[in-house]
C-alpha cells in the first residue's frame, strides 16, 4: 500500500497531534519509532488499519490471557454493561464484585479471604503498602514506617509503588519525591557465583535478607517481592526456595510479606499463582493485568482475616482503611474477570500451557548458540534472553546503540510484536497461541537478532 493510500498514516498523524503515549520519548515518533493504529484484535493477533497482522508476543504488556476480543469475555462485558455500568462500592455492592471476591478467595493461596479492589496494578501496590503500614499503627506499632524491597524490583509508577521499585530509568528523576526503602539484593539466578545453582543463590540471598531483618525488623512494615520473576527488571528469575525462605523469615521477624503477582499471576509461571510453587501464603497478594483476561483495568489486593480484624474499631479511632478509588470494583470489569476465571475452570488451561511452554523452550534452543545471545532462561510461560556484544565476557552493548529497539523494529516489520526491555528480549504470548504461531514468533526473533546484532 502506498503512503498516500495508507489508512495508518492519517490515524497516526491525528494521534500525534494530541495523544501523549506512555513509556515513550515522543520525539522518536514517527521517524525512529513507528506508531501503529490497531483497529481490531483476533486471538493472539492484532490488526492495523491497513490490514497488517501482528502476533502479540508479549500479550500487550502481559495482560492478555485468552486472546484479543475473546468472545466469552466480550459477551460478559456487553451483558453487564447493559444491566449496570457502575455504582460506588461504599455503602453498595453488586453481584459481580461479591462473586469475584468469593472466587478469588477460593482460588488464591489459602487464608487470603479479604478482597480490596482498585483499577491498575500500581494502585493495588499503593493499597498493600498503606494497609500494611496502617495495620502496624492499629496494632500499636507506629514506629514501623519502612519497607524492604528487592534490587531490580518494579512495582509500578505512582509515587508509593515507584518508591519500592529499583529501576533507575523510571525512578531516578522522581527520587526527591520518594520515600527510601531498604533494598535487599535480588535472588536473580543470573547472579550465581561459580559452582552455585539456583537454590544456592536463593539461600545466599536469604542470608542477606536475614541480616537486614535483624537490623531493621522493628522499623519495618513489610517486605515486597515479585514472586519468581522480576518482570520489568529484565525477566530476572529466582528459585521458589527463595519465597519459601522469605515467608519463614517474615514470620520469624514478624513483618508482612507482600506478593506482587500483578505480572506473574494467572498462570504465567506455570501455576495459577507463583506463590503456589513455594507453598506460601503472603499477607497481601496484589493482582491485576490478567485478572480480567486483559480486557479491562481492574486490580485487587487480597489479605488475611488477621489483617482485616485489625482495622475494625470505633469510627473516631480512625482505624478504618479509608483509601478509596471511584471505580473500585467496577461491575463491568468484575464481570470480565469472572468470565476470564470461568475459562480457567472450564478448560485445561495450565496443562495446555505446559505443553506449549515446552514447545517454546524446544524452539528457543536454536538461539542458545548464537554469539550475541546470552542467558536464555524460562519460568513456565515466560522466556527471555539478553542481546550481548560479547557472549564469553557477557558484556552488554553500549546503551546508545539501542540494539533492543533495532530488534523491536525488525520483528514488527515481520509481523511480530516483541518489545524488549532494553536489550532483554522476552516472550510472553497470550495462552490461545498455537505451535505454528510459536514457530513463526521464534523464527522472526531469530531473524531480528541477526538484524539487531
Ligand atoms: C510486578 C508489577 N507490579 C506492578 C505493575 C504496575 O501495574 P500498572 O501498569 O497496571 O500500574 C506492573 C506493571 O508492569 C508490574 O509488572
Flag the least confident range among 2-16, 288-302, 409-423: 2-16
Q: Report the separation in Å between the CA atom of 158 and the middle of ligand 1, taken as the mean of its atom positions.
A: 10
Q: Whose CA is nearest to atom 16 of ligand 1?
A: 263
- How far are the Cα atoms of 230, 360, 410 from residue 447, in angstroms, in the given order? 27, 16, 8
pLDDT score recorded for residue 409 = 97
Confidence of residue 5 (pLDDT cuts 50, 70, 90): confident
pLDDT score recorded for residue 2 = 56
| Cα dihedral 123, 128, 129, 131 in deg (nearest 10) | 120
Decide whether any atom of ligand 1 lies within 6 Å of the 428 Cβ: no
Decide whether any atom of ligand 1 lies within 6 Å of the 262 Cβ: yes
Q: Report the separation in Å between the CA atom of 25 and the middle of ligand 1, taken as the mean of its atom positions.
A: 20
What is the SS3 string spanning 346-360? HCCHHHHHHHHHHHH
Return the closest-CA partner of residue 336 out of 143, 100, 140, 144.
100
Extract the C-alpha cell encoding 108.
488464591
Beta-sheet strands, E only, within 16-166: 38-42, 45-48, 53-56, 112-118, 146-150
pLDDT score recorded for residue 394 = 81
Which segments of 312-402 does DSSP mark as H helices, in order? 331-346, 349-368
Percent of the chain clearing pLDDT 90 (strictly above): 97
Q: Report the separation in Å between the CA atom of 118 and the middle of ligand 1, taken as the mean of its atom positions.
A: 13
Q: Whose CA is nearest to atom 3 of ligand 1?
A: 155
Model confidence at 57: pLDDT above 80: yes
Decide whether any atom of ligand 1 lies within 6 Å of the 226 Cβ: yes
Evaluate whether 138 touches 148 at the Cβ level (below 8 Å): no
Return the closest-CA partner of residue 108 out of 271, 293, 342, 290.
271
Decide whether any atom of ligand 1 lies within 6 Å of the 274 Cβ: no
Which segments of 172-225 does DSSP mark as H helices, in order? 198-216
Confidence of residue 393 (pLDDT cuts 50, 70, 90): confident
d(CA 257, CA 259) in angstroms, rounded, equals: 6
Q: Whose CA is nearest to atom 5 of ligand 1?
A: 156
pTM as predicted: 0.98
Q: What are phi and psi of 255, to 5 degrees?
A: -125, 155
Model confidence at 3: pLDDT above 60: no
Average pLDDT of 366-393? Answer: 95
Extract the C-alpha cell encoding 84.
449496570
**Cα 390–chain centre separation:** 30
Q: Report the separation in Å between the CA atom of 292 and the middle of ligand 1, taken as the mean of its atom positions.
A: 14
- 373-379 and 299-304 beta bridge pairing: unpaired
Q: Whose CA is nearest to atom 13 of ligand 1?
A: 156
pLDDT score recorded for residue 4 = 63
Q: Whose CA is nearest to atom 2 of ligand 1?
A: 155
d(CA 103, CA 119) in angstroms, rounded, equals: 18
Amino acid at each position: 500500500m502506498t503512503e498516500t493510500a495508507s489508512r495508518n498514516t492519517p490515524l497516526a498523524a491525528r494521534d500525534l497531534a494530541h495523544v501523549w503515549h506512555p513509556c515513550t520519548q515522543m520525539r522518536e515518533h514517527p521517524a525512529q519509532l513507528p506508531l501503529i493504529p490497531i483497529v481490531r484484535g483476533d486471538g493472539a493477533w492484532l490488526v492495523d488499519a491497513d490490514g497488517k497482522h501482528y502476533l502479540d508476543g508479549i500479550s500487550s504488556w502481559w495482560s492478555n490471557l485468552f486472546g484479543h476480543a475473546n468472545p466469552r469475555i466480550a459477551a460478559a462485558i456487553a451483558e453487564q454493561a447493559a444491566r449496570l455500568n457502575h455504582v460506588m462500592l461504599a455503602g453498595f455492592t453488586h453481584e459481580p464484585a461479591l462473586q469475584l471476591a468469593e472466587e478469588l478467595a477460593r482460588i488464591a493461596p489459602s487464608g487470603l479471604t479479604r478482597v480490596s479492589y482498585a483499577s491498575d496494578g500500581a494502585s493495588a501496590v499503593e493499597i498493600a503498602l498503606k494497609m500494611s503500614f496502617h495495620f502496624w499503627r492499629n496494632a500499636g506499632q507506629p514506629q514501623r514506617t519502612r519497607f524492604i524491597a528487592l534490587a531490580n524490583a518494579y512495582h509500578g509508577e505512582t509515587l508509593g509503588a515507584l518508591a519500592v521499585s529499583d529501576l533507575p530509568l523510571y525512578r531516578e528523576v522522581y527520587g526527591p519525591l520518594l520515600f527510601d526503602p531498604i533494598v535487599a539484593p535480588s535472588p536473580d539466578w543470573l547472579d550465581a557465583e561459580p559452582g552455585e545453582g539456583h537454590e544456592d543463590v536463593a539461600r545466599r540471598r536469604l542470608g542477606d535478607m536475614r541480616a537486614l531483618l535483624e537490623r531493621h525488623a522493628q522499623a519495618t512494615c513489610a517486605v515486597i517481592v515479585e514472586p519468581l520473576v522480576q518482570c520489568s527488571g529484565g525477566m530476572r528469575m529466582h528459585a521458589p526456595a527463595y519465597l519459601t525462605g522469605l515467608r519463614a523469615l517474615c514470620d520469624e521477624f514478624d513483618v508482612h510479606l507482600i506478593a506482587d503477582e500483578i505480572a506473574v499471576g494467572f498462570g504465567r509461571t506455570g501455576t495459577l499463582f507463583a506463590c503456589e510453587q513455594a507453598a506460601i501464603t503472603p499477607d497481601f497478594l496484589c493482582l491485576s493485568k490478567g485478572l480480567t483476561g486483559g480486557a479491562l483495568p481492574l486490580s485487587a489486593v487480597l489479605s488475611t482475616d488477621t489483617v482485616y480484624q485489625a482495622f475494625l474499631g470505633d469510627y473516631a479511632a480512625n482505624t478504618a482503611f479509608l483509601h478509596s478509588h471511584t471505580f473500585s470494583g467496577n461491575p463491568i470489569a468484575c464481570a470480565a474477570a469472572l468470565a476470564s476465571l470461568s475459562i480457567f475452570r472450564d478448560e485445561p488451561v495450565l496443562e495446555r500451557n505446559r505443553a506449549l511452554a515446552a514447545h517454546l523452550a524446544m524452539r528457543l534452543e536454536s538461539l542458545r548458540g548464537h554469539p550475541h545471545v546470552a542467558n536464555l532462561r524460562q519460568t513456565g510461560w515466560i522466556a527471555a534472553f539478553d542481546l550481548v556484544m560479547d557472549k564469553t565476557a557477557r558484556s552488554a552493548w553500549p546503551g546508545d546503540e539501542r540494539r533492543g529497539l533495532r530488534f523491536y523494529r525488525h520483528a514488527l516489520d515481520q509481523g511480530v510484536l516483541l518489545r524488549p526491555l532494553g536489550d532483554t528480549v522476552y516472550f510472553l504470548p497470550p495462552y490461545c497461541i498455537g505451535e505454528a504461531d510459536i514457530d513463526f514468533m521464534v523464527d522472526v526473533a531469530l531473524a531480528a537478532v541477526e538484524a539487531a546484532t
